[in-house]
Structure 1
Amino acid sequence: MIKAVIFDMYETLITLFQSPLYFGTQIAIDAGISEEEFQLLWKSTEYGRTIGKMNLEETLEFILKEKQCYSKELLSKIVDKRKMSKKECFKYLHPEILPMLKELKKKGICIGLISNCFSEEVEAIRNSELFPYFDATYLSFEQGLQKPEKEIFIRCMNKLSVSSDECIYVGDGGSFELETASEIGMKAIQAVWYFKEGTLQPAKRKKDFIQAETPFEILKYI
């Protein structure tokens, strides 16, 4: 009997690719740094930013000073634009996301969230209209570990007081999350409703997993 559905956030409940992008490419332009030079430093900090070792402000200050273009005004401008871009994503929800979450609640199903995310994404998630639906929220920046590590899944299950065979895990399939969920005994479903050709989305369809074309399809597996 399914008692909980645990979701990924990005490219599952929301997408980064329907609102204006503000990734490394755009930040480099604002900083006046070549993209190659910026990305070399930006990507080298990704793991630390994901597990809470560095926040956005610290990372950008480090890069701007390293490239000798730091000013408080420039740092503030880039931080504000980056944070705004993360908030903006929540305005482009698939129309079935909120109704699906409401229906899970009506059925008495617990809802969990496990997401790899940076400091600016934690802020956006916790201030979003989705956040009140979660009974357990496990964000890599706050937990000090990231998917696909099993421990972050186990922590979420323990918080929800459910066993793995009582859980559905729903994610786009990035970070080998579906493989880990399946390995520990969850029913793993790949969310493909945001998938679109020609984007920078990191995940592709995985034939070894059930694929849900719309959020409402999740309800039939309860």
Structure 2
Amino acid sequence: MKTKAVFFDLFETLITEFSNGKRISNRKYDYLESLGITTEDFKEEWSSRQQKRMIGIFSNYFEVIKDILENRQLKSNNEAVQILYQERIKEKIIPFLHIRSDILELLEYLRKNNIKIGLISNCTEEEVRYWKESELAQYFDDFIFSYEVGIAKPDIRIYQLACERISVSSHESIFIGDGGSNELDGAFNAGLRTYHAIWFNTFIESNYKKLELPGELIKEL
């Protein structure tokens, strides 16, 4: 069946937060000084709210921090939280500033060949603040952010919604991702042809066909 649409994951598929195994942002947050909680305890609290953050139960960063502090019976310092929020936004902008040329070339090829392009990303508001200003956005017919629609990968409903919004069937569509959040299984179960992008992230195992470079997709269309 002819491919009518390609859906991409965002982080570690179109953009990356890492270089040589280290975060590009080199982030350093002093949660003990800002919030009164150790970094280790903060990470535990933050991770435990992953699903609720992704599907928008916590509508923004401030709600998450408030919930963490209440759970730990700590007082909130609004100024400190605002500083943390702004630092997180700065951190999340960095991956959007330098898009690999071969990724842009692939998107240009898809557009010129009248193949629709969609995005399906598990994310929160502050993580994608720079999406619309990035070089990527101009190529996309639609983009779905999990926190906005209340569904996150690998729930098959998010892939179905993505197909509905650009009027294609799942069997006419391809999904490409690095494999985080079991997204490849979700796409496959939703009926999309599924490919494992390993040009950024080689640490996740899967049984799906691997693409070592973005341009390898062209042979699969």
Is 1:36 paired with 2:40? yes
Residue 188 of structure 1 deviates from its aligned partner by 0.5
Residue 94 of structure 1 deviates from its aligned partner by 2.5
SS of residue matched to 2:29:
helix
Is 1:63 paired with 2:68? yes
Aligned-partner Cα distance in 1 for 2:86–2:33 = 12
Residue 152 of structure 1 deviates from its aligned partner by 0.6
Aligned-partner Cα distance in 2 for 1:93–1:45 = 30
The equivalent residue for 1:136 is 142
Aligned-partner Cα distance in 2 for 1:150–1:93 = 29
Deviations 1:187-216 (A, max 9, x none): 1010000025xxxxxx5132x211111111
Aligned-partner Cα distance in 2 for 1:124–1:50 = 18
Which of 80, 91, 98 lines up with 2:97 in the alignment? Answer: 91
What is the 5 A alignment of 1:177-216? 177-195=183-201, 204-206=204-206, 208-216=207-215
Which of 32, 46, 51 lines up with 2:50 in the alignment? Answer: 46
Given residue 80 of structure 2, which amino acid in structure 1 is its aligned partner?
A: L
SS of residue matched to 2:79:
helix
Provide the identity percentage: 36
Q: Calculate the aligned-residue CA RMSD, in Å.
A: 2.0
Given residue 199 of structure 2, which amino acid in structure 1 is its aligned partner?
A: W
SS of residue matched to 1:138:
strand
SS of residue matched to 1:219:
helix
Task: Return the TM-score normalized by structure 2.
Answer: 0.88
Deviates more, 1:108-117 or 1:69-78: 69-78
Count how many residue pairs are aligned between Structure 1 and Structure 2: 213
Which of 158, 161, 169 lines up with 1:155 in the alignment? Answer: 161
SS of residue matched to 2:101:
coil
Deviations 1:110-145 (A, max 9, x none): 001111001112323233221221112111100101
Residue 30 of structure 1 deviates from its aligned partner by 5.8
Is this contact kept in 2: 1:169–1:189, CA < 8 A?
yes
Aligned-partner Cα distance in 2 for 1:94–1:43 = 29
| Unmatched tracts of structure 2, length 5 or more | none
